[in-house]
Amino acid sequence: MKTERLRKYRPDIQGLRAVAIMMVVSMHCGILDIHGGVDVSFVLSGFLIGSQLFAEIEKTGKVSLTKFWARRFRRLTPPMAVVIVGTAALAWIYGSPLKFRDFMADGLAASLSFMNWRLVETGTDYFANDGSQSPYQHFWSLAIEEQFSSSPRSFSSRWSGSAA
């Protein structure tokens, strides 16, 4: 049985995503000293996730956290796996053998959505331009989103009884 999609294509949201990406890229490339692209991305993600959950409540009267996590897993895991494994292969071929073990620890942290805490643990200066950056460093924002989404406080008491 084909399930009805809970989300609809939103060109306005896609446009805002494009603006957020351009803000981040232009800041990292030194084109413009403009900040806030990641903030815009977080707001958009929260809006989209909330919209999906509210649509599910309207349709079924509850939120299935199992289905919520299954949707996120199906959407995020394949591209994450390609990037993490591809980065590991490139680090093996082109990276410093002295840093490979650290890169693999970073890759593990990225795959488990704890890259932000790994960066804190290693004292990483996100804006340093001295070659000390991790190739997985940009997974920090996805880690924060995943940690927030998995927090019980992210869901209202109305949803808490609908864990299955």
For residues 99 and 149, membership in a common domain is answered with: yes
Residues 114, 71 share a domain: yes
Q: Does residue 52 lie within any of the structural domains?
A: yes
- Please tell me whether residues 54 and 67 are part of one structural domain: no
- In terms of domains, do 158 and 85 share one? yes
Q: Which two tokens stand for residue 160?
A: 């808490």
Contact 142, 118 (CB under 8 A): no
pTM (global) more than 0.95: no
**Residue 2 maps to a domain:** no
pLDDT in tens, 59-92: 999 888 888 889 889 999 999 999 999 999 999 9
Task: Assess whether 39 and 103 both reside in one domain.
Answer: no
For residues 100 and 139, membership in a common domain is answered with yes
Share of the chain above pLDDT 70, in %: 88
pLDDT tens for each residue of 97-111 = 999 999 999 999 999
1 found inside a domain = no
The tokens 């989103």 sit on which residue? 145
Pick the residue with more confidence: 157 or 7?
Answer: 7
How many domains is the chain partitioned into structurally? Answer: 2
Angle at 86 between CA 85 and CA 89, to 5 degrees: 85
